[in-house]
Amino acid sequence: MIVRLSKTIPEPLIREVRERTDIVDVIGEVVELKKQGQDRYVGLCPFHGENTPSFSVSKDRQLYHCFGCKASGNVVSFLIDHGKLSFQEAIMKLADNLNIDTQHVELSPEPTSEGEKMREGHSLAARFYHHLLMNTEQGRAAYQYFKERGVNEEAMLHFRLGYAPRERSSLKTLLDKREFDLKLMANAGLLQVPEDGRSSYDRFSDRVMFPLHDIGGKHVGFNARALVKDNHPKYLNSPESALFKKSNMLYAYHLAKPVARKKDQVVLFEGCMDVVSAWIHGIDNGIATLGTAMNQSQAKRIRNLTENVILCYDGDQAGEEAAIKNAETLQGVGCDVRVVPMPEGKDPDEFLTEYGSKAFVHLIENEATAVSSFKIARLRREKNLQREGDRREYIERVLEIVLGVESAIEREYFMKDLSQEFDISLDALHQELTSIEQRRNHTDSVQSRSFKPRAQSAPQKAQVKRELLPAFHRAERMLIRSMIDDEQWADEVKDHIGGEFNVDQYAAIAAYLYAFYADGHEASSHSFIMHMDDRELQQIATEIMMESGMEMTKEAFTDYIELVKNYPTWVEIEGKEHELKDAERRKDIEAALKIGNEIIALKKRIGGKFPKKRTNVR
């Protein structure tokens, strides 16, 4: 049986440390905190550079939260994230601070789960491949390949680059010697099992290796590039497994995390080599999406680091299309995105190698453009504006882009540009803009202006600026807050709506809460947050608990429950109202009457009660 190198700490010791430790004292050793009000202490965030304090510590709740970079947690997570300690090290450090005698604490070994065994296998493979690259004759060709690409030894060490040997039994032999379950290692993607039932062999052969990690920095897979042309495919990733989901990967996230928070910016690339090359040239806040379309989960992880994202993708059609698509996903979670226009046919690695870091920094600082401007510039290159048809389509497409611009000033800037270039009055352009908006698909219209119900798709988290949130969203946060504070409110919520929250993350937090109380725990925000094993949910729950708000009353509770229950119907009504306007514009009386009756029926269903579309959360 394989056991963890670390040991579990007895629960009574953990409980004593939690109860006796004051988070203000611990964080106060690192951050100069000033008291603000009865319970709050504020200071400059230790996780990112800032001049105005946005870091808040609650003495009563024993939690911290930064309203700038979103770093949050309790005293243990602070030591883990800021002090770079393991959980066990953090607990033992706090115990020492409290003069608790830990010399005779018995630390019992705990059997490793299959997932942990897979991670250990990947970690061993990464060390093996790195050793071959740096120290053996076998890895000389791979070492030379990296050198020719401008990769120095410092970068090879920093990114733990490696080489998978041509022989397809080398890693398997090592894993077998270390008593790993080879079937499990095949499930982990390190070994390949032939369909004809023959013995397994190494998945990766004669390739340079880029280790991939989860957000905590643990090995979960590899991105591999063939050294010779006849080794297909050119790029090979680990297969999908319990550990590795390509759609969730962000290369070098764990390395860029502290730098990105300090600089308050991330540079997002397509491939691993772009990140490595950028790091060599001094751009150390780079991460990569491994050439895939970004999903909301990846976007939210980036947003947890910073709202400022520079997209730097290949200067070809595919790269530009990916940049636009991923930029829109990032904007959807509240990021401020700018796109670097790479020269045609160049990728960032090639640009850096050819022109150097100064030219690249100039691109980022002076030529990175807003997403809307990038779209318009690309559209202009695709159209022959001397032709009337192309010109008309160009103007319509630009107006469609302008509709997605939130800033009224920026909108007017684009409108004036169109007006001057094509000698069209601003009134005519505004009329056409209104017409395009009315023709837009209703579903897209609703989704662009509101949070999506859970049944439709994963909703967004709280908007970055935090000043305004949809009323239903505020209601769900207030319910979660009261549930964490008081088990009785949790019981009330369970009786009324169970887990039927409209936001996935809130539904997940509620499920954790129900289990937390069912296990006999007493209400305690910092104990509950430590109880959850999902870092994103911990951050959301901490932010909710750190927001100012009134105590829950029966009247407020009833209103919040109604909002949560009625929200899907409210979205449906809003959609029908847009359909009604469209029917009226078309002068389709029959359709308008039918839709009007449907709206009346829906309003009756919820008693005519509608939330305000926006409400202040402060």
DSSP 8-state class, residue 363: I
What CA–CA distance (Å, rounded) separates 288 from 300? 14
Q: What residue type is assigned to position 573 of the chain?
A: I
Please enumerate in sequence order all residues whose Cβ is within 8 A of that of 284, keeping only pairs 6 or more positions apart, or say none: 256, 259, 278
Q: pLDDT of 51-107, one tens digit each?
A: 888 898 988 888 888 888 878 888 888 888 887 777 777 888 888 788 787 766 655
Could you tell me which residues come within 8 angstroms of residue 120 by beta carbon, excluding any fewer than 6 positions away?
2, 112, 180
Measured CA to CA, the distance from residue 468 to residue 119 in angstroms comes to 42
CA distance 526 to 217: 24
Phi, psi of 192 (to 5 degrees): -115, 135
Residue with tokens 């700038």: 68
What pLDDT, on the 0 to 100 scale, is given for residue 66?
Answer: 87
Q: Which two tokens stand for residue 384?
A: 């022959």
Report, as an integer, the average pLDDT of 303-319. Answer: 90
- Sole residue written with tokens 């809003």: 574
Q: Are 401 and 371 contacting, i.e. CB atoms less than 8 angstroms apart?
A: no
pLDDT in tens, 468-492: 346 778 888 899 999 998 998 999 9
Tell whether the model's pLDDT for residue 445 goes beyond 60. no
Task: Give residue 122's pLDDT band: very low, low, confident or very high (50, 70, 90).
Answer: very high
Cα 522 from Cα 499, distance rounded (Å)? 20
Q: 491 or 535: whose pLDDT is higher?
A: 491
**Helix, strand, coil content of the chain in percent (nearest 5):** 55, 10, 35
Two structure tokens written together for 254: 């764990």
The alpha carbon dihedral of 438, 441, 442, 446 has a sign of: negative
Query: What is the model's pLDDT at position 610?
Result: 52
Vertex 173 angle, CA 171 and 178, to 5°: 95
For residues 319 and 342, the answer to whether their CB atoms sit within 8 Å is yes
* Burial status of residue 589 (CB atoms within 10 A of its CB: 0-12, 13-18, 19 or more): exposed
pLDDT over threshold 80, residue 110:
no
- pLDDT confidence of residue 404: 80
pLDDT single digits (tens) 573-600: 878 888 888 888 878 888 888 888 888 8
CA pair distance 56, 36, nearest whole angstrom: 9
pLDDT over 70 at 613, yes or no: no
Worst-scoring range by mean pLDDT, 48-52, 176-180, 260-264, 272-276? 48-52
Pair of tokens at residue 51: 């001049």
* Residue 184 pLDDT > 50: yes
**pLDDT band, very low/low/confident/very high, at 113 (cuts 50, 70, 90):** low
| More confident site: 452 or 236 | 236
How do strand 308-311 and strand 266-269 relate by DSSP bridges?
parallel
Evaluate if residue 549 carries a pLDDT over 50.
yes
Q: Of 38-52, 210-224, 359-373, which range is least confident?
A: 38-52
pLDDT in tens, 356-414: 989 999 998 899 999 999 999 888 888 888 888 888 888 888 888 888 887 778 888 88
- Give the torsion sign (CA, 488, 490, 495, 497): positive
- Note whether 418 and 458 are within 8 A (CB): no
Percent of the chain with pLDDT over 90: 31
Q: Which two tokens stand for residue 521?
A: 């725990």
> Residue 618: is it exposed, middle or buried by C-beta count within 10 angstroms (0-12/13-18/19+)?
exposed
58: DSSP letter: E
Q: What does DSSP say about strands 235-237 and 286-288: parallel, antiparallel, or unpaired?
A: unpaired
For residue 202, the cross-strand partners are 191
Q: Is the pTM of this model over 0.95?
A: no
pLDDT at position 548 is: 67
Using the 8-state DSSP alphabet, how is residue 237 labeled? E
Predicted confidence at residue 107, as pLDDT, reads 55
Q: Considering the chain, what is the average pLDDT of its residues?
A: 83
Please, is 581 exposed, middle or buried when counting C-beta atoms within 10 Å of its C-beta (0-12, 13-18, 19+)? middle
Query: Mind listing the pLDDT tens digit for each residue in 490-502?
Result: 999 988 888 888 8
DSSP string computed for 480-494? HHHHHH-HHHHHHHH
Whether pLDDT at 108 is above 70: no
64 backbone dihedrals φ, ψ, rounded to 5°:
-130, 155
Q: Is the pLDDT of residue 4 over 50?
A: no
The arrangement of strands across the sheet holding 336-339 comes to 286-288, 266-269, 308-311, 336-339, 369-370
CB atoms within 10 A of CB 328: 15
**Rounded distance between C-alpha atoms, residue 382 and residue 389, angstroms:** 13
Provide mean pLDDT across the span 436-459.
46
pLDDT band at 8 (very low <50, low <70, confident <90, very high): low
pLDDT for the residue 48: 83
Measured between its terminal Cα atoms, the distance across the chain in Å is 53
Q: Which residue has the higher pLDDT, 206 or 502?
A: 206
